[in-house]
Structure 1
Amino acid sequence: MKNSSSIGISEIGTSSRLKRIGLIVPSSNTNAEPDCLMLIPASVTLHVTRSGGYDVNAIPDSKEMRSFVRKSIDQQVKLLVDAQVDVIAYGCTSATLSDGPEFDKEFCNEIREKSGCPVVTTAGALIMAIKSLGLKRVSFTSPYVKSLADESVDFIRQCNIKVVNQVGFEKNLNSLEQGALKPHDAYEMAIKADHPEAQGVVISCTDYRALEAIPAIEAKIEKPVVTSNQALMYVCLKQLGIEPDCASAGGQLFSRFDSHG
């Protein structure tokens, strides 16, 4: 056994610093972080800050999401800039899905100007992931209320992707109830949402344990599945030019990963 005095300097790590993803999530969100950590390789670290100012017991509808996304996140962005992150991920899908693709781009640009680094929204990442898989027709499911789900579907359609079926929960769920859903709930809703004309299934919401259900869903329907957190990390890793080392956790999307594509 070597003692400390016999360890040469060459045996001490001298590689450059790890790449850093900065993540902004709603304050009640407890599922985005574990999902992201399942997907990023050891060469990347995750740095998270939270955005609040909403009632976690209220039903997050279109009006609530539009209000939430317009609250200042200057402090959250500054904290991530202080951490010298290499890319900022905005981890609330419905916040910009509810306002359309143009608002999503403007929102990205605003954060980019304040931070000086690349920015990825989950809504934008969903579209990029769907297109990376070459899907032109998809089914959609989420734990959102009907009005918010309808706006999410409209966002996808505005990006020239056809949504052939849409499925949601019968009960309107508040933020805490959405976060408490199990992977089996995501599995059942995805199977229900699948459609003969759909080339894949999209599962939206970062506070929804859909990632863990991807292998079972894809095995059952024999089609790719795109989830919010999976898509977000997929685009962030592509932005960093780093390939994942956990392709199985990310389903077909990650198994086809090309950091240069």
Structure 2
Amino acid sequence: MTGKWHKPLNEIKDAIAEAAAALSDTNPGVIVFNCTANSMEGGLAGEARVREVIQEASGCPAITAGQAITEALKLFQLKKLVLISPYVAATNQHEIRFLSEAGFDVIHDLGLGLRGGAQYINVTPQRWKEIALENVRPEADGYLLSCTNTTMIEAIEELEQSLKKPVVTSNQAVLWASLRRLNIAQPIPGLGRLFRTAS
């Protein structure tokens, strides 16, 4: 959520609760708060609060993009990360703080400085691949491409082949974490090591 839609949790929690309550009418197996930056902005406690708001309003299990990403990174036992995003520097910094609190060391980061979702989604998978390869750090043991409003997920397979290291993206991690909670375990071609790794 960007621009006028980017607000702290205390200003949007009522809207989150209302949306979650409406979704509960379908009795979903899981409800996802699918915004990486917003779910990480308040640190681990803030991320947990987002899930709590959803669960209290809906009675359904909830996950956030931030939680899904940390679970994926921990599956690979990654510690030293390169973080790449479409965000401005301040947003990258609060994601770095969240990741540090969760036990990860971001050794290098790049934010493209784009100003909103319409710009984020216009970056092609090929361009994300090029950007990642321009920011290789040999000491990194994994790469995180952050933001759900992007085409990054389409670049994973080729990137992992080039980097020879795990690549986690926001949408890939959310899909994987959601399927785990629904007890659906099957490889999905094109989505990288995460979907080929036993969980």
TM-score (norm 2): 0.92
**Alignment partner for residue 175 of structure 1, among 117, 120, 127?**
117
**Partner of residue 137, structure 1:** 80
**Alignment partner for residue 188 of structure 1, among 130, 142, 152?**
130
Matched position secondary structure for 2:15: coil
Structure 2 CA distance for partners of 1:212 and 1:124, relative to 1, 3 Å: same
Matched position secondary structure for 2:144: strand
**Alignment partner for residue 20 of structure 2, among 64, 73, 77?**
77
Q: How does 1:116-155 map to 2 (within 5 A)?
A: 116-155=59-98
Amino acid at match of 2:126: H
Amino acid at match of 1:244: Q
Give CA deviations for 1:135-166 in whole Å, capped at 9, x if unaligned.
Answer: 11111010011001111111101111111111
- Report the alpha carbon displacement of residue 257 of structure 1 after superposing the two structures with TM: 3.4
8 Å CA contact 1:65–1:98 kept in 2: the answer is no
Amino acid at match of 1:166: D
**Alignment partner for residue 109 of structure 1, among 52, 70, 75?**
52
Identity %: 28
In structure 1, stretches of 5+ residues that fail to align are 1-25, 27-55
Find runs of 4+ consecutive structure 1 residues off by over 2 angstroms: 64-71
In structure 2, stretches of 5+ residues that fail to align are none
Matched position secondary structure for 1:172: coil
Q: Which has the higher helix share?
A: 2
User: How far, CA to CA, are the matches of 1:147 and 1:203 in structure 2?
Assistant: 16
- Report the alpha carbon displacement of residue 96 of structure 1 after superposing the two structures with TM: 1.8
Amino acid at match of 1:193: N
**Partner of residue 255, structure 1:** 196
**What's the Cα RMSD here?**
1.8
Matched residues, number: 198
Matched position secondary structure for 1:141: strand
User: How far, CA to CA, are the matches of 1:209 and 1:146 in structure 2?
Assistant: 20
8 Å CA contact 1:89–1:122 kept in 2: the answer is yes
- Report the alpha carbon displacement of residue 74 of structure 1 after superposing the two structures with TM: 2.7
- Report the alpha carbon displacement of residue 71 of structure 1 after superposing the two structures with TM: 5.4
- Report the alpha carbon displacement of residue 187 of structure 1 after superposing the two structures with TM: 0.8
User: How far, CA to CA, are the matches of 2:61 and 2:34 in structure 1?
Assistant: 14
